[in-house]
Amino acid sequence: MSPENATGNPMDFVKNMWSNMGLSLPGMITPTFDVEEIEKRVKDLKAVEGWLKMNLTTLQITIQGLEMQCATLTAVKAMGEMANQAGAAKPEAAAGDSAAQAALWPWTMMQQMQEKMQAQVQQSLDEQSAAAADETKAVTTRSTK
């Protein structure tokens, strides 16, 4: 055993070995026996986890919204083509009213779906914010005890 490692502490040995190689021991793997430091790390990591979950949920909702929008627009285009084909086969006066009605209902449906999805996104964000606030409150309460 070298004189600088006479204490027999394994962590000192590892730190000396890492420093001799020109590397410092990374902070995340350095063990600590300070309970407050561990609780702080847990609190910080849980905050990051909550933030990542919120972003993942927002991303998933956005993807679903775009997929629904794409499907709706495809249906509207198909219905527009069908209305044009039907309009060419009928006299213009009779076809104009039915074609206009056929062309409008998909847009109304799409608008209703967008409003519903926006309400779901807002509800999800509100729930996640409340959960994050509760978690922060619980961690703060634990750290003050």
Domain ranges of the chain: 1-31, 34-144
- State the average pLDDT over residues 29-42: 81
- State the average pLDDT over residues 42-71: 93
d(CA 58, CA 132): 15
SS3 content of the chain, % helix, strand, coil (to 5): 85, 0, 15
Among 8-12, 15-19, 68-72, the range with the most confident prediction by mean pLDDT is: 68-72
State residue 145's pLDDT score: 61
Distances (CA, A) of 79 to 89, 90, 111, 129: 15, 16, 17, 41
**What is the CA angle 94-98-101, rounded to 5?**
150
Contact 139, 43 (CB under 8 A): yes
d(CA 138, CA 23): 38
- State the average pLDDT over residues 89-100: 60
d(CA 99, CA 85): 10
State residue 75's pLDDT score: 86
pLDDT of residue 6 exceeding 60: no
- State the average pLDDT over residues 74-90: 78
State residue 105's pLDDT score: 73
pTM above 0.85? Answer: no
State residue 117's pLDDT score: 83
State residue 107's pLDDT score: 73
Contact 57, 106 (CB under 8 A): no
State residue 121's pLDDT score: 86
* 141 Cβ contact partners less than 8 Å away, ≥ 6 residues apart: none
